[in-house]
Amino acid sequence: MLPKWVLRNTWTSKSFGEKPVKYSESTKEKRRWVRRDVNFPVRLIFPTHGLREVQSANFRMLDLSEGGAALYVGGFSGSPDYFYLQFGDEKSELVSCYLVQRTQHTLSCRFSNPLPTAQIDAIITQKEMDLTIESLFSETREDLVNDFLGSFAS
């Protein structure tokens, strides 16, 4: 028999006729903002050797919300506890972040100041447009090279 305090802090859920599953309130996801699944490159910028040097590395963003993000970093182990994210080119705004969780291949961060929803939506829209344009031109470039080289083969 479970103690009363455990029973008070659990609830059951039936889904699709399966057996009820017990969930503790502590396991429910408590999020302030909705995470948006994304898949685009971002730049992580961080100081090294105190503030004498700045290094950067490009990674793939997995999800994004007003309060933070998750990045796929692969085997990269040099990420500091505080860093900046840059969503565009070298001239774009830096977003101050701090590390929340690190796993073998991912890094989760929280923004020092939450970003407005409109800014998050604009970042996602811009990145999707950039990726679309990039994919169009990379295919066109390959076609042009093949056509150009094919004209000499005849």
**This model's pTM is above 0.85:** no
For residue 108, the cross-strand partners are 70, 101
Write down the domain spans for the chain.
40-130
Closest of 56, 144, 137 to residue 92, by C-alpha? 56
Lowest mean pLDDT among 40-44, 68-72, 136-140: 136-140
Third-level CATH fold of 40-130: Thrombin, subunit H (2.40.10)
Phi, psi values for residue 81, rounded to 5°: -80, -25
Task: Write out pLDDT tens, residues 52-105.
Answer: 788 899 999 999 999 999 999 988 877 789 999 999 888 889 999 999 999 999
Say what the pLDDT of residue 3 is: 42
